[in-house]
Amino acid sequence: MIQKVGVIGAGTMGFGIAFQFITNGIPVVLQDIKEESLNLAKEKIKTYLTIFREEEKSFKDSDEGIFDRLTLSTSIQEVADCDLVIESATENLELKQKIFRQLDEICAEHAILTSNTSSLKLTDIIRDVEKHKDQVMLTHFFNPAHIVPLVELLKGPETNQESYDEVNALMEKVGKVTIEVRKEKPGLVANRIQTALAREALSLLEEGVVSEKDLESAIFAGPGFRFATSGLLKIMDFGGLDVWDIVMEQLQPEIESNVCSFSVIKEKTEQGHLGVKASKGFFEYPGKGLDHYVIERDRSLIQQLKTFDKVQGGN
Ligand SMILES: NC(=O)C1=CN([C@@H]2O[C@H](COP(=O)(O)OP(=O)(O)OC[C@H]3O[C@@H](n4cnc5c(N)ncnc54)[C@H](O)[C@@H]3O)[C@@H](O)[C@H]2O)C=CC1
Ligand SMILES: O=C(O)[C@@H](O)C(=O)[C@H](O)[C@@H](O)CO
């Protein structure tokens, strides 16, 4: 049974993963090589406990009780007694392979080792793992990890079912929605779908078919609005599969199918317009700093999470 979780990497995702577990009763060791990352993560956890309370989605335990479950460390040795260790360090294959070699060496025999990678293959990450090769997985969270419910689960080629079932049960216990990815595909499921959507959206933008503002509305006030309560297959069922059959045949030849590099992104990147972190991307984010806009986004997402829990019967 998983009673203590280690999280390697206290960055954008690691902080949120740790937050999800400690606010749901599970002790966490959050490890990072940079003290500053750990200090920032601690401050963000403090901030989000307040924000969740302000948005009337508070936790049953006191802030003090929640913080009592959090251990911060710069030493990977600190996760040696964890039952589950989730690696969420920088997206670099050599680094992940090194971390998994270390975890394979120091962790208890029963420990389950997982990665939160967005794009790398599990079989590549675990290349040198020996002792735990029947207890490795991908557990792919979505940003922000402490609000977006989805976690994609993938077993390794030798992973036993018991490990999968334990991780799945734990994720559901802490309020996440899991899917089982049955075959190893780069980007798993949701990122592939997100990328396919992005390719068509950027193609329409590049062709001048739609403005940035209207492209946003076309997604969040249309399909995105429906996606908030049901997936694509139900939308097809409600639309009529006979209709969708025709539409798919008609439109597939029309939509973007090339592997493209889009000047709408390339030009902005070259100009240093990297998005919120640079105060300008497709849109402008004047003068209040990254945290202001991230928190503004997250307040909306927390309200959406409350509705999601009601509609999907969550906690
Ligand atoms: N940013 C996103 O939207 C998402 C990212 N991911 C994945 O999560 C992982 C982490 O991504 P982010 O949190 O965005 O990165 P990040 O750059 O915000 O944080 C990475 C953290 O790893 C730490 N780190 C580097 N080497 C380390 C080591 N040897 N041991 C311990 N910590 C180390 C860094 O100090 C940093 O704090 C990546 O694999 C990424 O693909 C998954 C879903 C979404
Ligand atoms: O969208 C997300 O949060 C995840 O699916 C990801 O992995 C990110 O999009 C990542 O690919 C880029 O930040």
Geometric angle at alpha carbon 260, from 259 and 265, rounded to 5°: 145
Segment 50-66 mean pLDDT: 94
The mean pLDDT of the chain is 96
Is residue 282 located within the same domain as residue 299?
Answer: yes
| pLDDT for residue 260 | 85
Q: Each residue of 208-226: pLDDT tens digit?
A: 999 999 999 999 999 999 9
Is residue 257 located within the same domain as residue 276?
Answer: no
Segment 56-67 mean pLDDT: 94
Is residue 221 located within the same domain as residue 309?
Answer: no
Kindly compute the dihedral angle of the four CA atoms of residues 83, 150, 139, 37, in this order, to the nearest 10 degrees.
Answer: -80
Residue 268 in this model has a pLDDT that exceeds 60:
yes
Q: What is the CATH number of the domain that holds 236?
A: 1.10.1040.10
87 CB within 6 A, ligand 1: no
Q: 36 alpha carbon to ligand 1 midpoint, in Å?
A: 14
Is residue 241 located within the same domain as residue 281?
Answer: no
Domain boundary among 126, 155, 180: 180
Q: Does residue 24 lie in a domain region?
A: yes
34 CB within 6 A, ligand 1: yes
Judged by phi (left if over 0) then psi (alpha if -120 to 50, else beta), residue 114 lies in: beta
Q: Does residue 242 lie in a domain region?
A: yes
> For residue 314, what pLDDT band results from cuts at 50, 70 and 90?
low
Is residue 59 located within the same domain as residue 137?
Answer: yes
Q: Does residue 266 lie in a domain region?
A: no
Do 162 and 155 form a contact (C-beta atoms < 8 A)?
A: no
Geometric angle at alpha carbon 91, from 301 and 263, rounded to 5°: 75
- Check residues 212 and 228 and name the one with the higher pLDDT: 212
| pLDDT for residue 312 | 85
> For residue 243, what pLDDT band results from cuts at 50, 70 and 90?
very high
Q: 241 alpha carbon to ligand 2 midpoint, in Å?
A: 30
| SS3 sequence of the chain | CCCCEEEECCCHHHHHHHHHHHCCCCCEEEECCCHHHHHHHHHHHHHHHHHHHHCCCCCCCCHHHHHCCEEEECCHHHHCCCCEEEECCCCCHHHHHHHHHHHHHHCCCCCEEEECCCCCCHHHHCCCCCCCCCCEEEEEECCCCCCCCEEEEEECCCCCHHHHHHHHHHHHHCCCEEEEECCCCCCCCHHHHHHHHHHHHHHHHHCCCCCHHHHHHHHHCCHHHHHCCCCHHHHHHHHCHHHHHHHHHHHHHHCCCCCCCCHHHHHHHHCCCCEHHHCECCCECCCCCHHHHHHHHHHHHHHHHHHHHHHHCCC
Is residue 72 located within the same domain as residue 204?
Answer: no
Domain that holds residue 33: 5-180
| pLDDT for residue 123 | 97
Residue 42 in this model has a pLDDT that exceeds 90:
yes
| Structural domain count of the chain | 3
| pLDDT for residue 290 | 87
73 CB within 6 A, ligand 1: no
91 CB within 6 A, ligand 1: yes
Q: How far apart are CA 12 and CA 10, in angstroms?
A: 7
Residue 55 in this model has a pLDDT that exceeds 60:
yes
The ligand 2 atom at the shortest distance from the C-alpha of residue 142 is 3
Say what percent of the chain tops pLDDT 70: 99
CA nearest to 161, candidates 135, 126, 141? 135
Domain boundary among 164, 180, 196: 180
Q: Each residue of 122-176: pLDDT tens digit?
A: 999 999 999 999 999 999 999 999 999 999 999 999 999 999 999 999 999 999 9
Global confidence as pTM: 0.94
Is residue 87 located within the same domain as residue 116?
Answer: yes
Is residue 115 located within the same domain as residue 231?
Answer: no
Q: Does residue 226 lie in a domain region?
A: yes
| pLDDT for residue 287 | 83
- Check residues 288 and 42 and name the one with the higher pLDDT: 42
Is residue 194 located within the same domain as residue 170?
Answer: no
Residue 313 in this model has a pLDDT that exceeds 80:
no
41 CB within 6 A, ligand 1: no
ipTM surpassing 0.90: yes
Q: Which ligand is nearest to the CA of 36?
A: 1
Q: 142 alpha carbon to ligand 2 midpoint, in Å?
A: 6
Domain boundary among 149, 180, 211: 180
Say what percent of the chain tops pLDDT 90: 93
Is residue 25 located within the same domain as residue 135?
Answer: yes
Q: Does residue 248 lie in a domain region?
A: yes
Q: Does residue 267 lie in a domain region?
A: no
Geometric angle at alpha carbon 46, from 44 and 52, rounded to 5°: 95
Is residue 248 located within the same domain as residue 281?
Answer: no
143 CB within 6 A, ligand 2: yes
Is residue 164 located within the same domain as residue 32?
Answer: yes
User: Which residue positions form the known binding site for NAD(+)?
Assistant: 9-14, 32, 91, 96, 118, 143, 277
Q: Each residue of 75-97: pLDDT tens digit?
A: 999 999 999 999 999 999 999 99
Geometric angle at alpha carbon 148, from 80 and 192, rounded to 5°: 90
Q: 143 alpha carbon to ligand 2 midpoint, in Å?
A: 6
